[in-house]
Each structure stands twice: as structure tokens, then as C-alpha cells.
Structure 1
Amino acid sequence: MKFILTVFIIMSSLQMMSQKKGSFVYNRTPLNDVIIELEKEFDIKLSFNSELIENQFVTFQSEDALLESVLNAIEGQTNIEFFKVSERYYILKHQATIDLTTTQKLNEVVVNEYLTSGVYKETDGSFVISPINLGILPGLTEPDVLQSLQLFPGIQSPSETASGLYVRGGTPDQNLILWDGIKMYHSGHFFDMISAFNPYITEEVNFYTGGTKAKYGSRISSVIDITSFNKIPEKIEGGAGFNMLHADFYIKVPVNRKIAIIGSVRRSFTDAFKSITFNNISKRIFQNTKISDGKKIFQGRGIDFLTERFYFIDHTIKTIIKPDDNNKITFSNIYNRNELDNEFSGQFDQSISDNIDINNRGSSVLWNHNYNRTFSHAFQAYYSNFDLDYSGLSYNENEEVTLYETIKRNMVHDFGMSFDTNWKINKKSKLGLGYQLSSNKIHYQLEYGNQVKNNVFEVETFIDKHSNNSHAFYSDYAYKNSNKLTINVGLRANYISTFKKFFFEPRLHLNTQITPCLKFKSSVEQLHQEVSQIVEFETKDFGLENQIWVLADGVNIPILKSFQLTGGFLFNKDGWHIGIDGYIKKVNGITSLTRGFDNNEENKNFFQGKSDVLGLDILIKKKIDNYRTWLSYSLINNRFTFKEVNEGYPFPGNFDIKHHFTWAHSYSWNNFNVSLGWNIRTGRPYTRALNVVKAENDFGTKYTKINSNRLPFYNRLDVSAFYKFNLSSVKNKWNAKIGLSILNVTNTNNLLKRTYREFDFVDQGSTNTVFQEIDKFSLGITPNLSFRVKF
């Protein structure tokens, strides 16, 4: 009888354990954290290799889930399979094949790949990019953090640069770029042709174009929140590689189970070796600038002295300390530098030199603490320093004015701290409260001097210094009822010391399931920005880096105010993904200094106005086995209105790209991947000058109506391919990748910008002024080869 009773108790216990249910809410939660919770919740043991679950995330929500349901959901979203050894023990193994690109529905689990692998769209409207897992993109053999964003609908780069991102009609300085919580004021190398962030130590990029969380402030266009590696590895890991522009190296070192150090360094070798890739980029950057003009002056005359040095370097170091399961402390540091030295000396007592040094460095500390499963806090402090230093010199012994010298400096010191609390009220609701302090000091200095023959050197100096302290109090509330309804409500109150007043920023994002395949989403937000860039005209002849950071003062530089309303639909079924977004965006406080009008006599005057943007973004994507294709289309109508310009009537904004069409393809076969992409868009608007605009004592119309003309259509075809292979007989010990990309395969001569230059000439005793047309063209056909090793 005792034996029968014992067997009955054991069987009943096993049955109860197998039927035990739990409540779970995961939103791209690391698989390692999910496993820890499952072991505690169901009293089971999961055996696995730690490398197997790296960079794996799970999205799952259920109030009454069985263990089997949770494991099935994980298998549907990862490349993991669970093998049951006993009622309590499981083994995790790698699946033979897994398709993460198809929308899957398992117990209310929906997994959406947005463009390619490594790009996901969250229920709060944001995008998540994992550079390590990023699939191949046209024109890129390496996952450039900022260039990857340009394939999103509504994101444009009219200047054909990596960091020149115009998000839904906004300008690049209106994008909040964070690296481990550090505000970045310079985000490009080679005058913004590539991004300044090493993708191989980047764990995740969170990208917001609307419905921004209330913890983000100080910019009105978008948020690009970059997080570097944030986990303690079990063993030393690293990688190295090079392409035709630079080489890089990174390493992750676990000091012990609680401490790790992660470092990276990347440097161009263009000051020692000039590849075809670099030569093409240089030609694109320096065309029609003081540097290219200087080379023309000395062409054929002989050069006694020549210096050409153009390079960049960036490096990072991060320390992770995790003393226990409830605490994590990280220390992050980043440094990037761009330097240009160009000097020419001729045989006829002539010399020209241009030197520019741009630095952006920053540090941050972050402490995360979990009090329990429902309440946590995060404390962060950061410091960011931007420094631009330019000096230009022109000397000609044979001219009346023998010496021209220009010195320009722009410095930003930004210190801040924040304290966030997060409270999981119940299974459906979360509440976040926080405070932020930001202290900015911005300095601008311009010295412009000249020397007349046999005379003293005269210098004119302009200095501008401002400082501001901002205090922000904010709250975020999130409600999620399975996948049927998601609501995020936020409110941010900014106190800006320069204006001695509060600015309030309400935000709302709604996501609701209409049918199993169709979702509706909408967002509304109001934002403010007190730090922005203006056009500096005095050194415009240099042709590069003529925008400087300034603080709003309420007089010449008003605070920027933005209101944005969006609405759209998402459709997912049978490998099809269709997204439609419409939006209205209104910005007040733009000036002719922040968005200077090219070639207009009024461009140096101060005018204040507004911008009205009406846009539509469409994305259609389909995956068939290992083949992906997507079409994106953006319609943007961006109108400026200035009371004193164009008789007060609206006119096209300086970067009003009305139609932008992208068609991309990618295909993978075994370890080989190839991608092809075609971009076509309308040209930028510009103001056309007349051939002869005035004769002596006879002033006429200089230009047509502002921005009333357009450049021709832009058309570019890019291709890229890479092949992965092992260098070691031990699988996944030494992995390698070789890649090739070709930008502008058809070598199309796209016109990016048109400006005019005045010069006078004497004809039959009369002085006449004419305009020389200056065109800036796109990058020509440009190949790039890369090779990488990971260990």
C-alpha cells in the first residue's frame, strides 16, 4: 500500500509540474534572462553552450502559459531547439534551419523582420538594428551604423553622406545621436562620408522617427540611440579587419565572472596609402572647394612644397561590472578625430594652406539596479566634448593684399545626468518616472585677417559664448494587452535656463490589432530643441564644415518647436510585409541662418520662419526562401514660409526631395550573400541665377524666385557581396569574411548641388558682373574590398 501511495504522489507531482502555468511579458528580452526565469518558475534545468544563446532575443506575452508553450515560442523565434531528457532536465541545441523572416504566430507571439535580418520593428513604433546580425545591404560589405538607416522610408541623404540624415524633412542637427548615453555632436568621418561609430562593438541601435519616449529630449527630428556590447563574455572574443579606407580591431576580455573590458580601435591609412576608393571619395569631397581650386592654381607651374594629410581615428573602451544579479555598472568612453592638412607652395611666392582638426570625445557611467521583479532604477552621468579648429592661409607676394588668414573655432561642452525609475504595475502596465540635467557651454570664435603690401596685419575677431542649464522631468506609461493593443503615453517638462520657463512635451503612441494580419498605428508628439547648427558664411570659401553649433538665445536664434502627427497600417501575411505611414510635421523657429538660402543676396540677413511637412512612406517587402526584395517609396512636401522672403508665400525647402524610390534585393546561398539596390529620387530645389545680372550703375534682378528650380533626377545603382568561411577546423573558432561592394555601378553623373560665384570683368570701359555656375556631382563608380576575421 505504501508503494502504491508513493508512486501516486510522484506521478501527481510530475503531472502538476508539467501543467504548471506562469505569467510572462518579454519584449526583445535576452534569451539568457528568459532561461533564468524559466528555471526558477518551473523548477527545471536547461543545459547549453553559452555561445548558442548569444544575441538571441525573445518577444512573448501570456498571463497563463504552460512551459511547453513558452519553449515552442522560443523555438519559433530563435535557432534553438529543446530536447527533453527528463521531466526536469532539457538540453538546448542548434536548429538545422530556422526562418526568422516570416511572420509567426505562436500563442500571441509575432516576430517581424523589417527589411532584412537584424532589423526589427517594435510595438512602440521604434526600430531595432543589431549590426552583428544585420543581413547584407546594397553597397555595404560592412554594417555602417548610419548608412544602414538610409534604406528606411522617409530617411534621405541629399548630400550623399552617411551622417547627413534628413528624417521626415528634418535636418541632421535635429537628430539626437547617443552612444552609451553620450550626446554626440560629430558623427562622421571623411567629412561625413562614413559614420564615426564602429559597428563591430555595437550591440543595438534603437531608432525613433515618431512617438518618441519621454526620456529622450533636446532634438525634434529623430533619436538614434546606440548601445555598445553590454554583456560579460565567458571567454576572450575579438575580431579584426580592413577595407580600402581603414583597419580596425576589437576585443572583449572577461577579467572574471563579474568584470569585463571591451575595447576597439579603428584608423584610416589614407595618409600613407591612397586607394582607388579613397581617391574617388576625396574627389567627391573636395570638388569646387578652396583645396581643389588651390590645386588648379599651381597646376603646370611647379610645386616646391606639398603636404596632403587626411585621416581619421576612433577608439572606445568600456568596463562592465556585475557584482550580482541585481546590479550592473558600466563605464564607457569614446573618442573620434578627423584631421586634414593641405599645403601648397609655388615657384612664384605663392602658398595656400588649410588645416582642420575635429574631435568628439565622451564618457559615461551607468548603474542599473533591480530592487525586485517589478521595480528598478537606472542612474547615468555623461560628458561630451566637441572641438572644431580650422585655420586657412593664402599668400601671394604679387598681389595688393598679400596675405589672407582665417581662424575658426567651435567648442561644445555638454555635461548631464539622469535618474530613471521603472515600475511594473501589473501584467499589462508599466510606469517610468525620471529626471535629467543637461548643462551646455558653447563657444564660437572667428578671426579674419589680411595684410596689404608694406602694411601691418589687420585682424577682425568675432567671439560668441553662451551657456544653458536644462532640467527635465518626465513620465512614461505603457499599457499592453497581449498583441491586440499597445499604448504608450509620455509627458516631458523641460526647464531651460536661457528662457527661464518650462516647455511641455506630450507624447502618445498607439498600436492596435485590427485583424490577425493587419495593425493600425498612430502617434502624436510635441518637441523642443535649444541647441542647433547655423550656417557660418565668413569661411564659406573653404567649402567644407561651414556649420557651427550654437545655443538658442531667443533673439537671433529662437528655440525650435515641432509638432508631429502620424498614422498608418502594417500588414503581415505569408512572407509579405506592407507598411504605410502618413504624417504631418510643423516646425517653428527655423531661420535663414540655420537653413541659409544658397545664392540669394538675402542669405546673410536674419529671417525667422516655419516649416510645414506633409509626407507618406510606403514599404512593401517579400521573402521567398533565401531571397528578399523590398520596395520603398517616400513622398515629402516640405514648404518654408518666411514673412520677409518670397513676399511671404511658401516655397520649397532647401532639401525638399519630393519623391524617393528604392528597390533592393538580397540573396543568400550557403555562405555566399549578394545584394543589389537601386535609388532614384527628384533633385534638390535651387535658385537659378541669370547670366548677366548687373552692369555698372544698373542693378537688376539677380536670381529667379527662391528654390523655384530643381536639379535633374538622382539615379544610383549599388551592389555588394560577401562570402563567409572558417579558418580553423574547429567550428566557430576562427571565422572569416571577405566582401566586395561597388557604389554607383553605372557611374551615373548625378548633380547634387548647384551654386554660383560672382566675378567682375571690364568690357569697353564698363564693369560687368556675371555668374559662374558651380556644380557639385555625386560619387562616381567606387569599389571597396573588405576582409574580416573573428575569433
Structure 2
Amino acid sequence: MNIKLLTFVFVLFSLNLFAQEKVSLDYSDVALVKVFQDIEEKFDIKFSYNSDLINNKTISLNIENATLDEILLILEEKATVVFRKQSRRYYTVKPRKTRITDTQQLQEVLIKEYLTTGISKKKDDASISLLPNKLGILPGLTEPDVLQSIQLLPGVQSPTETASGLYIRGGTPDQNLILWDGIKMYHSGHFFGTISAFNPYITEEIKLYKSGTRAKYGNRISGVIDITSDNDIPNKIEGGAGLNMTHADIYLKAPISNQAAIITSARRSITDIFDTETFRNLSKRVFQETKISEGNKVFEDDEVLTTKDVFNFRDFTIKALVKPNKNNQLSVSTLFTNNKLDYGFLIEEFDEASNDKLEITNQGSSLNWKHNFNNSFSHDFNAYYSKFDLEYVGGNSITDEFSDELRKLNTIDDFGFSYNTNLKLNEPTTLGVGYEFSSNKVNYGLSFTDSESPEEDFNESNENTNNTHALYLDYQYKRSNKWLLNAGLRTNYFSVLNQFFVEPRVQFETRLSSSLKYKVSGETLHQAVSQVVEFNTQEFGLEDQIWVLSEDGEIPVLKSKQFTSGFIFGKRGWNIDIEAYYKKINGLTSYTLGFEISDNFFSKGESEVFGMDVLIKKRIQNYRTWLSYSYVNNDFSFDYINSGEEFSGNSDITHQLTWSHTYEWNHFNVSLGWNIRTGIPYTKATGIIDTPDGPQIEYDEVNGARLPDYHRLDLSTTYTFNVSNKDNWKGKIGFSILNIYNKSNLLSRTYERRQGASNEDALREVNKSSIGITPNLLFRMDF
């Protein structure tokens, strides 16, 4: 697909639509009937309406050089009416029905339903907003999972079938900036990413940027996921608790006074108490082709005794909120997430014992102060501390023969602050200026001890700190719901490299008619901390990525440039959003992408991404259906891989189509979704050859083959009910099924050498499959 040609066609089409008659209007507290008469005369049209609809109504307008469609759109908002075109000259005028699920005015941002209730597109920037407490039912989800909900949007993919493994427009998960109340998150999933680590019941809003990123966001080159917890002080104590087949949760919102409140939540897995079908299926997918599933068997008939089987995850949050007056808001937030695994087994016949212990923690705190000096000038100050800890210990031993142990440690201490100012220069123009400081201390350690061969012992470690200083400017021009321009400039200084990096960003939107909008954006981004793949713990097979800082030579700074162009159409229940984009990423390495064929040598590379996101949605009363399609052509090129020729990216999903349906009837909600996509590329092995370094696997063309196409059908349904006559207590029962027809989809294919029956090396194909048919149940109470 030629993205440049497509963009050119878009521009030509928009220029054609510009060629409409335009006039200027200026009314100050003028009767609405007079305004209608003036517009009828200027455009030679006629309005038909009930006189009671506009009698005694006045309006103030100042519109320059606008078409009839643009004027009618503004009048619909100002006068709470709806215009319907009956012919070239005649329009009917009806009252506009206001529904909270359709449209509401919120801080001068017009919120409109994007996919379903609770998912909307912001009017003042390129972000998509998700409100978990208003989120409609989604396929396969009985609860509003913070990260899984995002995957229904075009341009967001998860090749690994996880909540936290989000690939946004060709970027990898570590290239996404994830914030929770301003705290940077380095691990965002539970149970190896299958569940997001954020409690949706105390989450107020999730803002997603796929492009058009504001200048205040920095040090990531792909998407931005900005999560904000509740900022409202409740009038009375509110709370709730729930239970599903993987975990239980509880939350409480307690007012201390009219100006202060405490909001807290907690979740914990129940898998060490109840062995559910849901958890068994998730475990089967996560642990397949690892020591935990194979039991380190040498022969198929080996009897393996489990000596330890501990797994749990938990998270909790506390937030103190103070609003002494309408011009000030102060909040202190704390988040703690933890995943723990301790597994051991014994093959009694050989007295061989093995154990794997893994613990991952991400915790942090933040302080935020917002202050309005007046209606034109405000500022906010945010300080945060985030700590990430990963520790793995794996051992294997046979009594009186050998004992070996592998340890891996990865820690990050990240703290910083930002100060943002916002000045409204005049009605259409706003200026924001800010400064951000952050300090990243990243530590990595890997050690191995072998009682049989001490000469093979090793102990590697690295510790480095990067201090980042950033100055940024955000300029916005917004005129009469017709023009929107966001221009930004961010300058970063990375101490670890002693270099400055400049990031210009621009987003432009214009309304071509009452139902059509054109948009275009461009941005440059940089990233100094990223994940690399290490193969020393590959026998365990989980969490084989570690965070490292950029340095001269082997780990360069990642750099991304992205250009987008598209249209948004909305009319009579139809919403169509089409956006084409081009993205180029420099600074990739064979370490950051974990090429198994590279034999751990170093090679620099880049990726070039052409893509298109399409969303088509139709609403008919309580029924909604939407089609989400993504086209991605992601090509890699590396100096010493594939002879320098381009090849498909490791997670390149060329086509992905999601077709979803939801229906609401009284207290019942049901949702059905079908997902089909292209299989990801893999490198096919042709056999084993002898080399001076011993037998090695011989591979064909890099990523020259593809896995079979992936498809899955998911279902979810919920029923809500009142427990008390006063509606103080509300209950909810939910049921979902993932992969209804139990399709076995391949997620990855690799190869390994195994000793055959004749003590010769044999090639083994290692396939990892998707989750099978998996039911889940939910019960919760809220008050």
C-alpha cells in the first residue's frame, strides 16, 4: 500500500470540500429567530420548526469565513437543536435530546461515544479517552480491564495475547510510556502480562495517544497511556468488592470532610486458594515449553514430584485528595504491584532437584498540586518516585554430583518532578510552558555458579544513571469548533550521553463540514531507557527482558519519526475514522529485539512502518457494532542480519480485523467479538550443521516464513441488579468465554537442539499456542 499516494488523495479530497460558499457572522445576544432569518437570506435556504423551540431564546456568535455546514454545527451546540437536511434548500429543526451516554460537556471538551459508552475521542488533542466507570461491556471482558480495553482500538495489537504486551503502530511494549497518577510504570501486568496491574474501579480516566503526542510527554517513542485515578470527593462513603476466577478486589472512597477524601483499593489472586478452570488455562498458555510445564524431564516416563508450587499476585493503592477551594487541588498517590513465583520439583529416580524463584515489584508515589490563579492562568506541579525490582534465582542439582545456580537482578530507581503552566492568551489561543527533571538509576546483575566446572562461573553487572532535563512548549489554537492546531517543541538533555535532543511536534484538524473532519500530525521522539533480551534464563522461559540505559556503542538512543493523515466522519449513528501513517525508528539492536539466529552478536538496525487504521461504527438504539481494521507493513534492516536486506519485523501483523457487537436490554448486557489477524513472521530452521564451535542450527531467510492466521471468538454478558429499594447497594453477575470454538492458534515458533535416541543432536520445533476455550465468572457488590 502506497501511503504517500493515499495521503495525497486525502489532501485533494479535502481541498475539493473547501470549495464551498463561506460567510462571516457576528451576533451579540440576538434573538435566535433573527439569526435563523439572517442565515436563510445569506444562503437562500428555509428552516422548518416549531416556534416554541426558539421563542425567547437569544444567542451570541462570532464566526469568520465559515460554510453553512460549519455554522449549523455550531448552532446545534449553542442552541441545543438538530438540523436535518430534507432537500437542497429545506432544513427541519428539532430539539436535541441530551443523553449522558451520547454527549456531555466536560471542561470544554465535547465527549462523544467512540466505540461504546466510556470510550471517546478528545476534542482538544489527538488522544482517545476511556472512562472505566462508564465503560460499556466489551467482548470477552466482564470487568473493564484497563489495558485489555485498549486493544479493541485499531493500531493497538497484542501478538502475545497479553494485556500488557501492547504493540502500538509497530512499536514494542517497552517503547510505550505508561503513567499512573504521574508515576512511571516499568511493569504493568499480573501473571506474566495476562491481567493489567491497575484496578479499574478507582481509575477515573485512561488517555491513549497513538500519535499527536503533547510535548509534556517524553522519553518514549511509541504510545502514551496516561492513567488517572479518581479525583472526585464523594458526598458519602462509597465502595465495592468483587470476585472472579483469578482474583478478588475491594475498594473504598471515604470523605473526611467536604474538602478531603481517602481513596484506597486492593486486589489479590485467589489461585493459591482455589484451582479454577480459568487459572488452569492461563497457566497452560503461560508456562508451556518451560521447565515448569516440562518438569525438566529427560525421558517421557520420568516421574516428577512437585516440591514447591507458590504463585500469587497483588496490588494496592492509597490516594489522599484535598480540595480546599475551587482553585486548588492537592493529591498524594501510592501504588504497589507484586508478582511472586516459587516453583520446585524433584525427579526421585535420579535425585535431581530443580527450583525457580521469581519476584517482580513495581511501586511508587506521587504528589500533584493544581492551582488556578484566574480564568486565564493555571499551573500544576507533579513529583514522583518509581521503583522496579526483578529478582530471579534458578537452581538445578543432583546430590553428590553437581549443583548450579543462576541469579538475575534488574532494578530501577526513578524519581523526578515537572512544573507546567497554562496561559489562555485569548479565546482561541492557549500557551503551555513546562520543565521536567528525571533521574534514572538502572542496575543489572547476572551470575552463574557451576560446582562441576568452576571455570565457567561468571558474574556480570552494570549500573548507570541518566539525568534528564527537558524544556517544552505547547501552543494551541482552537477556533469555533472548526480549526484546531497543537504545536509543541521539547528539548531533552540526557546526561548518560551528554547530548541534547530536539523534538518538534504538530497536530492539525479542520472541520470540512458538519459531518467530516480532516486531521494531520507529525512528531519526533527519543528514548534513553529500553529493554534488551538475554538468553541466559531461556530454560526458564519467562521474563527474559531487562531494562538498560543507552550508552555509546551497543545501546544507542531510540529515535522515532511519525507522520499521520486521515479523516473522521460522523452522521446519523455512523462513525468512521481513517488514519494512514508512516513511522521510522532508528537505534534498534539485535539485543533489543532478541534475534535467536544472531548468536548473541551485536548489530544495529532500523524499522520502517507504513500503516493504516480504520474504525467503522454504527449505533442503532441499544445495539452497537464496530469494525476495527489495522494494516501494518513493518520492515527491519540490520547491518549484519539477512545480508543487510530488509525483512519483516518480529511482531509484524500485516492485517488485523476485529468485529464487535454489544446489546443492552434492561439490566442485561451482552457482547460478542471476533478477531482475525495475520500470523507473525518466524525464521525457519533447515537442520543442524557442524561448525568449529560445535553443532549449530542452520536457518533459512530471516523471518521468511509466517505462522498460520490467527482467529478467535469471544463472548461476555453481565446482569446488574439492585439489592436495596433505595438503590444504595447494587450487584453485578458476569460470565465470559474466551475462544468459544477452541481454536488452537500458534503464537510463536522457535527451534532448539535436543539429544536424540542415538546420542546425536536432533532439531526440535518449539511451538507456543494461544489460550484455549476459557470461561470466567464474576460477582461483585457496590454501594
TM range (shorter): 0.7 to 0.9
By how many angstroms is 1:550 displaced?
Answer: 0.4
Q: Against the structure 1 CA distance between its residues 514 and 342, is the aligned structure 2 distance closer, same or farther, given a 3 Å change threshold? A: same
By how many angstroms is 1:346 displaced?
Answer: 3.3
Cα offsets for 1:574-620 (capped at 9, x unmatched): 1001111100000000000000123x1x2411101100000011111
Q: Is the 8 A contact 1:517 1:573 kept in 2?
A: yes
Q: Against the structure 1 CA distance between its residues 311 and 18, is the aligned structure 2 distance closer, same or farther, given a 3 Å change threshold? A: farther
Q: Against the structure 1 CA distance between its residues 697 and 130, is the aligned structure 2 distance closer, same or farther, given a 3 Å change threshold? A: closer
By how many angstroms is 1:303 displaced?
Answer: 5.3
**Within 1, Cα distance between the matches of 2:406 and 2:330?**
46
Amino acid in structure 2 at the alignment position of 1:275 = T
Matched residue, 2:391: 389
Q: Is the 8 A contact 1:103 1:572 kept in 2?
A: no
Cα offsets for 1:271-316 (capped at 9, x unmatched): 1211000000001000001211226569865556521111100000
Matched residue, 1:751: 746
Q: Is the 8 A contact 1:694 1:768 kept in 2?
A: no
Q: Against the structure 1 CA distance between its residues 701 and 546, is the aligned structure 2 distance closer, same or farther, given a 3 Å change threshold? A: closer
The counterpart of 1:552, out of the listed 547, 550, 570, is 550
Matched residue, 1:231: 232
The counterpart of 2:765, out of the listed 765, 773, 783, is 773
Amino acid in structure 2 at the alignment position of 1:407 = R
Establish whether residue 727 from structure 1 lines up as the match of residue 719 from structure 2.
Answer: no
Cα offsets for 1:529-579 (capped at 9, x unmatched): 000000011111110000000000121100000000000000101100111
Q: Is the 8 A contact 2:29 2:60 kept in 1?
A: no
Q: Is the 8 A contact 2:557 2:587 kept in 1?
A: yes
Matched residue, 1:372: 374
Q: Against the structure 1 CA distance between its residues 195 and 700, is the aligned structure 2 distance closer, same or farther, given a 3 Å change threshold? A: closer
Establish whether residue 636 from structure 1 lines up as the match of residue 632 from structure 2.
Answer: yes
Cα offsets for 1:459-486 (capped at 9, x unmatched): 3100011101000000101110011110
**Within 2, Cα distance between the matches of 1:355 and 1:61?**
68
**Within 2, Cα distance between the matches of 1:302 and 1:771?**
25
Q: Against the structure 1 CA distance between its residues 71 and 262, is the aligned structure 2 distance closer, same or farther, given a 3 Å change threshold? A: farther
Q: Is the 8 A contact 2:371 2:379 kept in 1?
A: yes
Q: Against the structure 1 CA distance between its residues 591 and 62, is the aligned structure 2 distance closer, same or farther, given a 3 Å change threshold? A: farther
**Within 2, Cα distance between the matches of 1:62 and 1:395?**
81
Matched residue, 1:495: 493
- 1:335-346 counterparts in 2 under 5 A? 335-346=336-347
Q: Is the 8 A contact 1:100 1:113 kept in 2?
A: no
The counterpart of 1:657, out of the listed 650, 653, 660, is 653
**Within 1, Cα distance between the matches of 2:333 and 2:243?**
24
**Within 1, Cα distance between the matches of 2:308 and 2:504?**
54
Q: State the Cα RMSD in Å.
A: 2.7
By how many angstroms is 1:62 displaced?
Answer: 6.7
Matched residue, 1:445: 445
Q: Secondary structure at the match of 1:217?
A: coil
Q: Is the 8 A contact 1:182 1:363 kept in 2?
A: yes
The counterpart of 2:536, out of the listed 534, 538, 556, is 538
- 1:540-689 counterparts in 2 under 5 A? 540-598=538-596, 600=597, 602-689=598-685
Amino acid in structure 2 at the alignment position of 1:746 = Y
Amino acid in structure 2 at the alignment position of 1:534 = V
Q: Against the structure 1 CA distance between its residues 652 and 236, is the aligned structure 2 distance closer, same or farther, given a 3 Å change threshold? A: same
Cα offsets for 1:659-690 (capped at 9, x unmatched): 10110000000110000000000101000111
**Within 2, Cα distance between the matches of 1:288 and 1:167?**
27
- 1:13-52 counterparts in 2 under 5 A? none
Q: Against the structure 1 CA distance between its residues 665 and 305, is the aligned structure 2 distance closer, same or farther, given a 3 Å change threshold? A: closer
Q: Against the structure 1 CA distance between its residues 688 and 523, is the aligned structure 2 distance closer, same or farther, given a 3 Å change threshold? A: same
**Within 2, Cα distance between the matches of 1:191 and 1:715?**
22
**Within 1, Cα distance between the matches of 2:365 and 2:724?**
38
By how many angstroms is 1:700 displaced?
Answer: 8.7
**Within 2, Cα distance between the matches of 1:759 and 1:192?**
29
**Within 2, Cα distance between the matches of 1:720 and 1:693?**
51
Q: Is the 8 A contact 1:726 1:734 kept in 2?
A: yes
**Within 2, Cα distance between the matches of 1:164 and 1:143?**
17
Q: Secondary structure at the match of 1:541?
A: coil
The counterpart of 1:709, out of the listed 694, 705, 708, is 705
Q: Is the 8 A contact 1:62 1:482 kept in 2?
A: no
Q: Secondary structure at the match of 2:278?
A: helix
Q: Is the 8 A contact 1:695 1:769 kept in 2?
A: no
Matched residue, 1:478: 476
Cα offsets for 1:632-672 (capped at 9, x unmatched): 11110000001211111100010011010110000000110
What are the ranges of 5 or more consecutive residues in structure 1 without an aligned counterpart? 1-15, 21-59, 78-94
Amino acid in structure 1 at the alignment position of 2:738 = L
**Within 2, Cα distance between the matches of 1:340 and 1:97?**
54
**Within 1, Cα distance between the matches of 2:419 and 2:387?**
22
Matched residue, 2:416: 416
By how many angstroms is 1:449 displaced?
Answer: 1.2
Q: Is the 8 A contact 1:696 1:768 kept in 2?
A: no
Amino acid in structure 1 at the alignment position of 2:270 = F
**Within 2, Cα distance between the matches of 1:72 and 1:617?**
29
Q: Against the structure 1 CA distance between its residues 100 and 574, is the aligned structure 2 distance closer, same or farther, given a 3 Å change threshold? A: farther
By how many angstroms is 1:769 displaced?
Answer: 3.2
**Within 2, Cα distance between the matches of 1:239 and 1:96?**
36
Q: Against the structure 1 CA distance between its residues 576 and 259, is the aligned structure 2 distance closer, same or farther, given a 3 Å change threshold? A: same
Q: Is the 8 A contact 1:677 1:718 kept in 2?
A: yes
Structure 1 stretch displaced more, 583-592 or 114-123: 114-123
**Within 2, Cα distance between the matches of 1:303 and 1:61?**
80
Sequence identity, in percent?
52
Q: Secondary structure at the match of 2:295?
A: helix
Establish whether residue 267 from structure 1 lines up as the match of residue 268 from structure 2.
Answer: yes
Q: Is the 8 A contact 2:688 2:695 kept in 1?
A: no
Q: Against the structure 1 CA distance between its residues 96 and 285, is the aligned structure 2 distance closer, same or farther, given a 3 Å change threshold? A: farther
Establish whether residue 137 from structure 1 lines up as the match of residue 138 from structure 2.
Answer: yes
Matched residue, 1:465: 463
**Within 2, Cα distance between the matches of 1:256 and 1:70?**
41
Q: Secondary structure at the match of 1:149?
A: helix
Q: Is the 8 A contact 2:688 2:696 kept in 1?
A: no
By how many angstroms is 1:363 displaced?
Answer: 0.2
Q: Secondary structure at the match of 2:686?
A: coil
Amino acid in structure 2 at the alignment position of 1:376 = S
Matched residue, 2:427: 427
**Within 1, Cα distance between the matches of 2:638 and 2:775?**
44
Amino acid in structure 2 at the alignment position of 1:361 = Q
Matched residue, 1:358: 360
Matched residue, 2:191: 190
By how many angstroms is 1:788 displaced?
Answer: 1.2
**Within 2, Cα distance between the matches of 1:322 and 1:716?**
47
Q: Is the 8 A contact 2:81 2:96 kept in 1?
A: no
Matched residue, 1:782: 774
Q: Is the 8 A contact 2:110 2:122 kept in 1?
A: no
Matched residue, 2:179: 178
**Within 2, Cα distance between the matches of 1:749 and 1:407?**
35
Q: Is the 8 A contact 1:101 1:575 kept in 2?
A: no
**Within 2, Cα distance between the matches of 1:270 and 1:368?**
41
Stretches of 4+ moved more than 3 A in 1?
Answer: 16-20, 60-64, 69-77, 95-105, 108-111, 295-305, 455-459, 691-701, 760-763
Q: Secondary structure at the match of 2:591?
A: coil
Q: Against the structure 1 CA distance between its residues 762 and 237, is the aligned structure 2 distance closer, same or farther, given a 3 Å change threshold? A: closer
**Within 1, Cα distance between the matches of 2:419 and 2:299?**
58
**Within 1, Cα distance between the matches of 2:449 and 2:96?**
70
Q: Is the 8 A contact 1:63 1:427 kept in 2?
A: no
* Residue-pair matches, total: 704
By how many angstroms is 1:112 displaced?
Answer: 2.7
- 1:14-93 counterparts in 2 under 5 A? none
By how many angstroms is 1:451 displaced?
Answer: 1.1
Q: TM-score, normalised by structure 1?
A: 0.85
Establish whether residue 737 from structure 1 lines up as the match of residue 739 from structure 2.
Answer: no
Q: Against the structure 1 CA distance between its residues 603 and 521, is the aligned structure 2 distance closer, same or farther, given a 3 Å change threshold? A: farther
**Within 2, Cα distance between the matches of 1:541 and 1:347?**
21
Matched residue, 1:121: 121
